[in-house]
Amino acid sequence: PRSAQVVTLVMDSGALIALERNDRATWRRLKASLLAQQVPVSHGGVVGQAWRGAGPRQARLAMALDAVDVRPLDLALGRAAGELLAAARQSDVVDAALVLVSEDGDVILTSDPGDLEPLSIVAGRDVELVPV
């Protein structure tokens, strides 16, 4: 567990797409996190939602992903996400896994705050959902 004062930036696919589209506010948040020596977090399922593998915009996204701790969506996280989905009566495994890689106090950059809020409540995560 991290110390209480550490705030990690957690990025959903909307945040990655915003970086790909060169959204200045999202790039500022990423750079501020890195300057504070806080490595942003996401997971492989989120990358799969945003990655298409070609073109200059994907090069921008690849550069951003080099600075992100992309966690595996493995058996343990998949099971935990499924359990969270059952408890929250939701269906998006990528969203559930993203909430589960967050910790209390983290900031989740998301294009879907309405989808993540019930998951974060059921998971007991005290996070700030910031729309992108």
In tens, the pLDDT along 27-81 reads 999 999 999 999 999 999 999 999 998 888 899 999 999 999 999 999 999 999 9
Q: Is 6 helix (H, G, I), strand (E, B) or coil?
A: coil
Q: Report how far residue 69's alpha carbon sits from residue 56's, in angstroms, rounded to the nearest whole number.
A: 22
Do 76 and 101 form a contact (C-beta atoms < 8 A)? Answer: no
The pTM for the full model equals 0.93
